[in-house]
Amino acid sequence: MEEPKENNNRTAEVTFSRDLGLFDATMIGVGAMIGAGIFVLTGIASGVAGPGALLAFILNGFVTLLTALSYAELASCYPESGGGYAYIRKAFPGAVGFVSGWMLWFCYVIACSLYALGFGSYFWEFIHSYFPLLSAAAFGLLGQELPLILVTLSIGLAVIAINMRGTALTGKVENFLTIAKMVILAVFIFYGLKQILNIPTQAVSSFRPFLPNGFSGVVLAMGLTFIAFEGYDLIATVAEEIKQPKKTIPRATLIALSLTVIFYLLIVVVCIGAIRPDTGTSWEFLGRYQETAIVKAAENFMPSFGVALIIFGGLLSTLSALNATVLAASRVAFSMGRDKMLPVALGAIHATRRTPHIAVAVTGVLLLIMAMLFPIHIIGSAASVMFLLTFSLVNLSLISLRRQFPEVKAGFRVPFYPITPVVAIVLNLVLAVSQYYFDPFSWYIAMSWFLVGLFIYFVHFEKITAPEMPQVLEVGQTKQTREYEYRILIPLHNPDHVIPLMKLAVPIAKAHGGEIIVLGVIDVPQSLPIHEGMRFVHHKTPLLKQAIQYGNQAQVPTRSALRIAHRVYDGILRTAEAEKASLILMGWKGHTTRRDRIIGEVTDKVVNHAPCDVITVKLMGDLSLKKILIPTAGGFHAMLAAQFAALYQAEYGTQVTSCYVVPRGATQETRERAYDWIEKTVQETELSSSVRRTLIESEKVASGLARASGNYDLIILGVSEEGLFSSVLFGEIAEKVSRYSRVPVMMVKRYEGVVKSVVKKVLG
């Protein structure tokens, strides 16, 4: 089937204005990561790992970097609001996509609640330290809980109001808060380093022994402090509001993570190295004071204003993190509402302010309710588990989307793919499991929320989203007279290609005692109901009748099938699966006008996901099979190509020439090795002894084959693992050959499942 044009008409979607630049996006990430966590967790991590807390932060930074790289690539490919949810849903639509968004929204809302409560705690700590009479009056009149609740409500409402006003205002507030807290932390680090330089010997001794509680203490500290590194993903969550997202998001993500890790490491170094406790070690001192350890550290080496500065820094940190996380949480809710995975009202955008005002309001109400009613420290631990599980799915989505959409051009590519995302998945899962041993209840909450989400999806939202999913409808199929083990599926689109494709299929079907199934696919825009395609069924009928007539004349069982599909490749692939096809034989135009696409969306999808062998043919007018050229370098694909050539040789009396491309002026040893490959191909297939052997001299494989093509009627290409074709199937060589060849080009790919089973059998 020649490459048809996919009809991707979509109904208009509401979108945001792009107000955030590189600096704004970076500050969102830094603001979310450098929150209250570093103030609270430094002492706790030091208490369980000793100086090894430094290693725990380094390793957490590495684990975080691996997933951040996946976020950077995905965000540069798909700059959509929703972040991790959007990527997972694109890779795994349906229940998995819904649950990922359901969990991520919960995580962000919990984080918002934590930050709001944290702000209230730091506020009253500040008042208690410097305005004790005011603090005593407030708690005396209102009790122990109400003052905290009032401050939490007030700051929550203020941040919600800022987010309702507009992204530009939210970004400006975030920039101010983040810069202010970074300055405060820089002052803290400055005085700490100054103290270390004054007592270098004692400072160095504070790091000995480095692992007083062994490496297990480091692992425990990693699990406790990982939440402090969560926040870079917020940049991707607001992708639709970032200028030049393909460039900006990867840069902002990596810059934000780098800045955060540097600050964290310096803070841990000065806390351990600059403190001079009266008794015990510095790390024991920090562990003793836990969440207030950084304040006690400031008392040790900072001037009198140090404590006030750190408390004020805690206020700014919690406020900054709250602002950034409300922004992100509302975008996840908005994206799910737009996808009809949550009530559609959440997917609305304010007409003038261009903000998801309903999503912001609902998110705000939920965070305030959770902050007031639930034991946040327990639910917060469950949120950490869900973050880790979601990050694992994001990495898995990167692998899946690369395979599903190889034509998508990324502004950033993950290095050492696929090792990087695979390692990230493993490490995230290890940290998630370690949380069970620290607090089993966190897993119980996480799994309960997960199951509730699945229940809601299957009871309600699956019915709503089902019409939105791409569909395939079977509308016609001729009756199968008997069961055939070998089936060739031929998708038909171009009337000029019916006879050439049947001519190529008939010898293969005869040799295997199989049948031919000719398929017509009517594509319907995804914005329309699938049944709309019924009006166009008659357009495909003449093609199918012509093919069946040819098959009957050639005495090969031939029947037809008709499908209506929102995506042509879905129609082809689902038919191949349903019919248990052994081979898909289809036409293609031989080149693409887009540099970021290999050979076209439909053919790419079929080639990459077919459950059987695949032949694609670039056809040019009438197909003659008098003389065929087969380039070879061994391998499963090349051998299959040679087998097909042998069938044409036997059926049509074709003259077959097997060739190998060698550099000009190649040595005798290179030429002999090339002839060995040719001879191996001939001997291991059913090609007759009349096969001609030849070497083509050319510095480039593609140009050599293209020049030689004029002497033949057809070139059959198989892909080898070595030598001749080192690129992937239908990659640069294949496209160049097909683009510049003067004759039709047929390309053969053996099903990977067959290849793997053969390898497994050989290896025992």
pLDDT at 69 over 60: yes
Residue 756 has a pLDDT of 46
Q: Which two tokens stand for residue 248?
A: 């900006």
Q: Tokens 């062998």 belong to which residue? A: 613
3-class state of residue 242 by DSSP = strand
Q: Tokens 């109904």 belong to which residue? A: 11
Residue 551 has a pLDDT of 92
Q: Where are the alpha helices (DSSP H) in 290-439?
A: 293-301, 306-338, 357-373, 376-404, 419-438
Residue 528 has a pLDDT of 65
pLDDT at 748 over 90: no
Residues 350 and 379 in one domain: yes
pLDDT at 489 over 90: yes
Residues 240 and 307 in one domain: yes
3-class state of residue 699 by DSSP = coil
409, amino acid identity: K
Residue 720 has a pLDDT of 46
* CA 359/CA 218 separation, integer angstroms: 39
Q: Other CB atoms closer than 10 Å to residue 168's CB: what's the count?
A: 16
* CA 336/CA 324 separation, integer angstroms: 19
Percent of the chain, pLDDT > 90?
8
Mind spelling out the 3-state secondary structure of 609-650? HCCCEEEEEECCCCCCCCEEEEECCCCHHHHHHHHHHHHHHH
Residue 27 has a pLDDT of 83
| 91-114 mean pLDDT | 81
619 belongs to a structural domain: no
Residue 422 has a pLDDT of 92
Domain boundary among 444, 465, 486: 465
User: What is the tens place of the pLDDT at every residue in 731-744?
Assistant: 456 667 777 788 89
Higher pLDDT, 672 or 240: 672
Q: Which two tokens stand for residue 527?
A: 């914005």
224 belongs to a structural domain: yes
Domain boundary among 404, 433, 465: 465
Residue 729 has a pLDDT of 34
Residue 584 has a pLDDT of 93
pLDDT at 562 over 90: no
Q: Where are the alpha helices (DSSP H) in 226-305?
A: 233-237, 245-273, 282-289, 293-301
Going by the DSSP 8-state scheme, the letter that residue 692 receives in this structure is E
Given pLDDT bands bounded at 50, 70 and 90, which one contains residue 31? confident
Residue 35 has a pLDDT of 67
Cα dist from 384 to 222, 230, 428, whole Å: 12, 9, 11
Provide the CATH number for the domain around residue 568. 3.40.50.620
Q: How many domains does the chain have?
A: 3
Domain boundary among 446, 465, 484: 465
156 belongs to a structural domain: yes
144, amino acid identity: Q
Residues 541 and 639 in one domain: no
| 83-99 mean pLDDT | 80
Higher pLDDT, 724 or 106: 106
Given pLDDT bands bounded at 50, 70 and 90, which one contains residue 554? very high
User: How many residues are present in the chain?
Assistant: 764
* CA 56/CA 388 separation, integer angstroms: 17
Maximum Cα–Cα distance across the chain:
105
Q: Which two tokens stand for residue 66?
A: 């691996």
Residues 254 and 391 in one domain: yes
Residue 250 has a pLDDT of 85
6 belongs to a structural domain: no
| 99-109 mean pLDDT | 83
Residues 527 and 549 in one domain: yes
pLDDT at 8 over 60: no
Residues 344 and 434 in one domain: yes
pLDDT at 570 over 80: yes
Higher pLDDT, 84 or 422: 422
Asked if residues 223 and 432 have their Cβ atoms less than 8 Å apart, the reply is no
| 685-711 mean pLDDT | 83
Residues 496 and 454 in one domain: no
Higher pLDDT, 495 or 84: 495
| 667-684 mean pLDDT | 85
Residues 629 and 580 in one domain: no
pLDDT at 120 over 70: yes
pLDDT at 232 over 60: yes
149 belongs to a structural domain: yes
| pTM (two decimals) | 0.63
708: domain range?
624-764
* CA 449/CA 439 separation, integer angstroms: 16
Higher pLDDT, 103 or 536: 103
Chain mean pLDDT for the chain: 79
Answer positive or negative: Cα dihedral of 428, 433, 438, 439. positive
Q: Tokens 């809710």 belong to which residue? A: 333
Asked if residues 563 and 574 have their Cβ atoms less than 8 Å apart, the reply is yes
Residue 227 has a pLDDT of 72
User: What is the tens place of the pLDDT at every residue in 680-697?
Assistant: 878 877 777 788 888 988
* CA 384/CA 446 separation, integer angstroms: 9
Provide the CATH number for the domain around residue 104. 1.20.1740.10
Residue 149 has a pLDDT of 79
Mind spelling out the 3-state secondary structure of 550-585? HHHHCCCCEEEEEEEECCHHHHHHHHHHHCCCCEEE
Asked if residues 171 and 27 have their Cβ atoms less than 8 Å apart, the reply is yes
40 belongs to a structural domain: yes
Residues 416 and 451 in one domain: yes
| Residue 469 region by backbone torsions, left for phi larger than 0, else alpha for psi between -120 and 50, else beta | beta
Give burial (CB, 10 Å; 0-12/13-18/19+) of 123. buried
Residue 380 has a pLDDT of 64
Residues 453 and 511 in one domain: no
* CA 674/CA 713 separation, integer angstroms: 23
Q: Which two tokens stand for residue 644?
A: 């097909």
Residue 463 has a pLDDT of 66
Percent of the chain, pLDDT > 70?
84
Rounded to 5°, the CA angle 247-346-464 comes to 105
Task: Give the range among 255-259, 590-594, 693-697, 759-763 with minimum mean pLDDT.
Answer: 759-763
The helices-and-strands tally (H runs, E runs) of the chain is 29, 11
Given pLDDT bands bounded at 50, 70 and 90, which one contains residue 291? low
Residue 486 has a pLDDT of 93
Residue 504 has a pLDDT of 93
Residue 590 has a pLDDT of 55
**Residue closest to 663 by CA, chosen among 709, 700, 702:** 700
* CA 312/CA 260 separation, integer angstroms: 19
| 241-257 mean pLDDT | 83
DSSP 3-state helix, strand, coil percentages of the chain (rounded to 5)?
65, 10, 25
**Cis peptide leading into residue 557 (ω within 30°):** no
Asked if residues 363 and 333 have their Cβ atoms less than 8 Å apart, the reply is yes
Residue 740 has a pLDDT of 76
Which DSSP string do the residues of 152-217 spell out, in sequence order? HHHHHHHHHHHHHH-HHHHHHHHHHHHHHHHHHHHHHHHHHHHHHHHSHHHHHHTT-SS-TTHHHH
Given pLDDT bands bounded at 50, 70 and 90, which one contains residue 507? very high
| 470-480 mean pLDDT | 63
| 135-158 mean pLDDT | 80
Candidate ranges 77-81, 271-275, 534-538, 590-594; pick with highest mean pLDDT: 271-275
Residue 675 has a pLDDT of 87
φ, ψ of residue 685 to 5 degrees: the values are -125, 180
Given pLDDT bands bounded at 50, 70 and 90, which one contains residue 661? confident
Q: Tokens 């790919």 belong to which residue? A: 749
pLDDT at 427 over 60: yes
613 belongs to a structural domain: no
Q: Residue 382: which residues within 8 A CB-CB, separation 6 or more? A: 110, 441, 442, 443, 444, 445, 446, 449
Pair type for strands 714-718 and 745-749: parallel
Residues 224 and 170 in one domain: yes
Residue 379 has a pLDDT of 64
For the stretch 227-238, what's the b/e string if a residue is b when 16 or more beta carbons lie within 10 angstroms of its beta carbon? bbbbbbbbbbbb
pLDDT at 502 over 90: yes
Residue 583 has a pLDDT of 94
Residues 525 and 410 in one domain: no
749 belongs to a structural domain: yes
3-class state of residue 662 by DSSP = strand
